[in-house]
Structure formats: structure tokens, C-alpha cells
A = this chain, B = another copy of it.
Amino acid sequence: MSVNRNILTNQIVQKESFLCVGLDTEIHKIPSHIQKLNNPLFEFNKRIIDATHDLAVAYKPNIAFYESLGVEGWKALEKTTAYIRSKSEKIFIIADAKRGDIGNTSRKYAETFFKQYDFDAITINPYMGEDSVKPFLEFPDKWVIILALTSNPGSQDFQFDRVSHGKRVFEKVLEKSSTWGNPDNTMYVVGATRANMFVVVREHVPNHFILVPGVGSQGGNMNDVARYGMIKDCGLLVNASRSIIYASDSIDFEEAVRKSALDLQLEMKKLLKSS
């Protein structure tokens, strides 16, 4: 089963949350007593999932952190997605992979993340255009999440450049790529550090879900994101990674992790009620 828009929005209503927990798991950052276990990455993720699965509607493993460990990392990733599914089949699982290549190659990446591994969605870089994105859209009930406006300093380098009719590159990406799929199989990445841009983003994609990194360690403001970005069925997944998963490195770190996720969920609950 895959998580479609209906399931996702129902989860948001039931959990009163649009929280995505980013699993940017690094061996040297996890508590030392977990480092000593077999499969430390998975053992850490398992505890994060146990502590947050009733508060989060989505998880987002950052593929780089697993890939860099080779075979062990890929095994940890597989066990992690399976563990999330064992908690609930309704949780949305995103491969934060930033892939995209010519058609026959994108098809291979799609097979990797949608068939070999059991993800609902994958983040995609739009630079190579339509035929680099389309193969991902051929998988029923799966999602692409296209980079529009990223949260990092380098987003200034090209994404804001003005192209035709005064539109910026990220606007052109929204405008063009939103015709390749639809709001049931396409989302966008827009960083919380650019909250004032959500008004512009919503002009181009009024009905799409937006995955929002940059709240927490990167300094973005969730109130602004919700004020300018929230739509009728929410339409937002706000991600926090380091501020939740590395909330503590003590023996009982799970409590601090839960507290950190709960603080965000309570904020989200208020924002959902007042919208």
C-alpha cells in the first residue's frame, strides 16, 4: 500500500500534526550506548520512531547518510522503512535523495526507491527538466517532491535569478513542472528560511503539498510558513531533523526526542485550529 493524498490528509487531521521527522542519522552523533549495539543506525532510528510515531505524519531518511556507509547503510535504511510500516501503514515515507537524470536513468532511480525500497516519495532536482522527472510519475500512488526554493545559502546562486516576464527561476520551475503531474503525485520543497516567498509559491501551486525544511537548526519560522503556506487540507509537511533526533545524547534521550517533537506538534495543532 502507498500513502495517497487522502490517507495523508486524514493522518494530519487525526494526529493534529503536519510534522515530518528527518532521519539524518550519523553514527558519531548518536548516543554512545546506541553506538555500541549491532546495527546502530537502525537501533537509533527505531528508538526515534518509537518516541515520535504518534506525533509525526511523515519520516524523511536523508539517503546520503546511509549511502555513505555502503552496504551496512542500505541495510539500515531497509530496516528503518520496514519498521515505520510496522508501526503504521499510513505514515508517509520520503527518500530525501535529490535525484534526477536522463529518462532511462531516472527510471532506475525510481525503481530503487519505489520498488527495491518501500518509499512513498522521493525528492527530485529539476535542473534536467521534464524527461528527468516523468519516469518517477509513472508509478501509481507514488510521489515526486521537486526542489523549488531550497533552505540553504546556495539557493541564492541560481534559484532567484529573473527569467522571462520577471519570473524567478524557482517560479519557472513551479509553473512548468506543475503541468507534468498533479497535486496528487507532486509536491515541492520550499525552505522555511524563505517564508516570505510562500505567497509567491502559492500563486503558482495553490493546491500542492509543500515539504518545508529549515525549521529548527536552520532557523526558519513555522508561524510564517503556516500563515503564508497553509491551504484547506493543510498542504504542508514541516520537517525537523537535527533539532529532534539529536535533542539529547543521554541514556534516556528518547524523552528529550519526544519532548522536542511534541513541542512542534502542539504548535502545529494550534496552527491547524486557527486556520
Contacts and interface: CB of A to CB of B under 8 A. Distances in A.
Interface of A: 24, 26, 62, 64-65, 67-71, 74-75, 78, 96, 98-106, 108-109, 111-112, 116-117, 125-133, 147, 150-159, 161-164, 169, 172-173, 176
Contact of A109 (B64, B126, B153, B169): B64
Contact of A150 (B104, B108, B116, B128): B128
B116 A64 contact: no
Nearest to A26: B108
Contact of A112 (B67, B150, B163): B67
A132 B152 contact: yes
DSSP majority for the A interface? Answer: helix
A161 to B, nearest CB: 4
A161 B159 contact: no
A169 B126 CA distance: 13
21 contacts: A62-B101, A64-B109, A68-B108, A68-B111, A68-B112, A70-B78, A71-B75, A74-B74, A98-B100, A98-B125, A100-B125, A126-B158, A128-B154, A129-B156, A130-B153, A131-B152, A133-B154, A158-B172, A161-B164, A161-B169, A161-B172
Contacts of A117: 70
B129 A159 contact: yes
Nearest to A64: B108
A53 B241 CA distance: 45
A127 B147 contact: yes
Contacts of A154: 102, 128-133
A218 B151 CA distance: 35
B126 A153 contact: no
A109 B152 contact: no
A256 B197 CA distance: 55
B102 A101 contact: no
Nearest to A152: B102
- In this complex, which of A74, A126, A132, A159 has the most chain B Cβ atoms within 10 angstroms of its Cβ? A132
B127 A158 contact: yes
Contacts of A129: 150, 152-159
Nearest to A133: B154
Contacts of A74: 70-71, 74
A162 B164 contact: yes
